């Protein structure tokens, strides 16, 4: 068997994404020793019970001591605090990455808090579910999914080698890796992920508030469309509060455009402009077909409904 890409990996914050990174990395043989730091006593208990890591602590510096790779998998607004706590434990030449859903704000937090001897390579796996916590993690989460890396604007050889190794790491976990400018990432994700979540939170909130529509009726008659919104609107409140606060400018930009288009639709309905509605709905149907053709139609292709959570596959660490 080949030597692992990173002899020691530290994961700071081990919920859905952190646990999935560990399970996938171990299954791929991409890491040796795994240390976890998590501030939640409940999460730490579960991580130990699931056998996810070689060591589990609340002391972030201790977990990061001598690590070759540190993965920050905490909510976006907690990145600065987590990085400050990790700094005293870091060895020179360590690769630092994260999985946060917003990139410019996280890069700023990491570069401020961490020493220049660390190779900071922000990242974002475009994969997830509406679940949280270590029990929700599963090894296949990143398979056939994009991982976007937003490297710093430096091109020295050691840094480029670190980017290459991190690319090899995510590839070993089954992902397709793309390098992107952080601002472009934040704008694209504002449109494809953040705005849809905002719409879901809003529509479910509106339905719950509507007078005359009882909670029971909302549940009873919720057809496919609304049910899908309720699934998205069940996503972690802390994570999503942080995403909107940290990606404020890009979200407001796409929200402005969205509101204009919604007004145009409302006018088309008012004036019975059926052709306009039909044209739009035909165009969007084509977009959906394109997504299916690209194999990106579910949160985890082939594992969507019956993926095994970490609690059922804790034995993976011995493979
Ligand atoms: P999660 O399941 O809520 O897990 C986060 C864990 O980090 C929790 O146990 C939390 O403890 C702990 N934590 C918070 N602050 C910490 C700190 N300063 N130091 C150490 N541990 C800390 O979250 P997740 O869904 O895995 O999301 C993690 C990151 O992945 C977020 O940045 C999110 O934007 C990104 N992401 C998520 C998804 C998704 O679908 N969920 C997809 C792609 C990317 P407490 O519960 O006590 O706060």
Domain boundary assignment for the chain: 6-181, 184-312
The model's pTM is: 0.90
Determine if ligand 1 sits within 6 Å of the CB of residue 239.
yes
* Domain 6-181 annotated CATH 3.20.10.10: no
Residue nearest to atom 42 of ligand 1 (CA): 128
* Domain 184-312 annotated CATH 1.20.1250.20: no
Residue 211: the pLDDT is 56
Asked whether residue 310 carries a pLDDT value surpassing 90, the answer given is no
Residue 228: the pLDDT is 86
Determine if ligand 1 sits within 6 Å of the CB of residue 129.
yes
Determine if ligand 1 sits within 6 Å of the CB of residue 147.
no
**Section 7-32 average pLDDT:** 98
Least confident of 114-123, 222-231, 292-301: 292-301
**Section 176-187 average pLDDT:** 98
- Please give the mean pLDDT across all residues of the chain: 90
Residue 192: the pLDDT is 94
Determine if ligand 1 sits within 6 Å of the CB of residue 137.
no
Instruction: Name beta bridge partners: 98.
Output: 72
Give the atom of ligand 1 at the shortest distance from the alpha carbon of 124. Answer: 44
Determine if ligand 1 sits within 6 Å of the CB of residue 63.
no
Asked whether residue 237 carries a pLDDT value surpassing 80, the answer given is yes
Residue nearest to atom 41 of ligand 1 (CA): 128
Determine if ligand 1 sits within 6 Å of the CB of residue 100.
yes
Asked whether residue 181 carries a pLDDT value surpassing 70, the answer given is yes
Asked whether residue 227 carries a pLDDT value surpassing 60, the answer given is yes
Task: List, for residues 81-132, the tens digit of each pLDDT value.
Answer: 999 999 998 999 999 999 999 999 999 999 999 999 999 999 999 999 989 9
Give the atom of ligand 1 at the shortest distance from the alpha carbon of 82. Answer: 18
pLDDT class of 206 with cuts at 50, 70, 90? confident
Task: List, for residues 239-284, the tens digit of each pLDDT value.
Answer: 999 999 999 999 999 999 999 999 999 999 999 999 999 999 999 9
Least confident of 44-53, 200-209, 221-230: 221-230
**Section 170-180 average pLDDT:** 98
Least confident of 27-36, 66-75, 151-160, 217-226: 217-226
Residue 100 CA to ligand 1 centre (angstroms): 9
Give the atom of ligand 1 at the shortest distance from the alpha carbon of 16. Answer: 26
Higher pLDDT, 318 or 133: 133
Residue 257 CA to ligand 1 centre (angstroms): 30
Asked whether residue 172 carries a pLDDT value surpassing 90, the answer given is yes
Higher pLDDT, 230 or 172: 172
Asked whether residue 70 carries a pLDDT value surpassing 50, the answer given is yes
Residue nearest to atom 33 of ligand 1 (CA): 100
Residue 308: the pLDDT is 35
Residue 73 CA to ligand 1 centre (angstroms): 5
Higher pLDDT, 216 or 207: 207
**Section 9-37 average pLDDT:** 98
Residue 302: the pLDDT is 33
Give the atom of ligand 1 at the shortest distance from the alpha carbon of 102. Answer: 34
Percent of the chain with pLDDT over 70: 89
Residue 123 phi/psi, 5-degree rounding, is -150, 165
Determine if ligand 1 sits within 6 Å of the CB of residue 134.
no
């Amino acid at each position: 068997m080949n030597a692992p890409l990173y002899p020691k990996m530290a994961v700071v914050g081990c919920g859905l994404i952190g646990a999935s990174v560990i399970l996938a990395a171990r299954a791929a043989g991409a890491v040796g020793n795994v240390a976890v730091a998590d501030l939640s006593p409940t999460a730490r208990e579960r991580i130990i019970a699931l056998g996810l890591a070689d060591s589990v602590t609340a002391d972030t510096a201790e977990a990061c001591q001598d690590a070759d790779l540190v993965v920050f998998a905490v909510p976006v607004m907690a990145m600065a605090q987590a990085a400050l706590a990790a700094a005293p434990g870091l060895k020179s030449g360590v690769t630092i990455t994260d999985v946060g859903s917003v990139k410019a704000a996280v890069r700023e937090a990491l570069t401020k808090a961490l020493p220049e001897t660390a190779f900071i390579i922000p990242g974002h796996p475009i994969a997830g579910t509406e679940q949280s916590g270590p029990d929700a993690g599963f090894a296949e989460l990143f398979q056939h999914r994009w991982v976007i890396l937003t490297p710093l604007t430096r091109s020295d050889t050691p840094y480029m080698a670190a980017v290459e190794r991190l690319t090899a790491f995510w590839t070993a976990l089954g992902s397709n890796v793309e390098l992107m400018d952080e601002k472009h990432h934040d704008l694209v994700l504002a449109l494809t992920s953040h705005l849809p979540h905002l719409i879901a939170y809003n529509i479910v909130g509106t339905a719950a508030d509507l007078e005359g529509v009882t909670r029971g009726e909302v549940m009873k008659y919720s057809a496919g469309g609304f049910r899908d919104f309720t699934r998205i609107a069940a996503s972690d409140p802390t994570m999503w509060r942080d995403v909107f606060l940290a990606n404020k400018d890009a979200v407001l930009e796409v929200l402005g455009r969205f509101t204009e288009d919604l007004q145009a639709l409302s006018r088309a309905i008012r004036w019975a402009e059926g052709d306009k509605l039909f044209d739009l709905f035909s165009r969007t149907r084509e977009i959906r077909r394109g997504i299916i053709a690209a194999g990106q139609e579910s949160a985890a292709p082939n594992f969507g409904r019956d993926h095994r959570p970490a609690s059922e596959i804790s034995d993976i660490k011995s493979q």
